[in-house]
Structure 1
């Protein structure tokens, strides 16, 4: 997410969803790569959940364990 496109995407997310600048960058990266945002920050989870999938670390760990084959 380098260059003007990424910066514009983060700025648009910041304005539209009232996220802090750094949180908007995380959300833009998660969107770009089709990933899940894993965070303990309640405000970040609440705001980002309208845009990308969000999990707390415990849920993400439990979900990841279901994919592990021993």
Structure 2
């Protein structure tokens, strides 16, 4: 199954696994990521500036933020 033209939500989007996954998906999809920035692997990467990438600083345990 190809993932193209999808809107994908990635939790932990600023961590190592989240940024790796987002980089693989962002060229052909819209990627929305959320992370509490406990470990920030996103800063200083081209992913943060990609037009198909949106980042929200939020904790997934905060239901109001989701």
TM-score range, shorter chain: 0.3 to 0.5
TM-score of the aligned structures, taking structure 2 as reference length? 0.36
Structure with the larger helix share? 1
Point out the structure with max Rg over C-alpha. Answer: 1
| TM-score w.r.t. length of structure 1 | 0.35
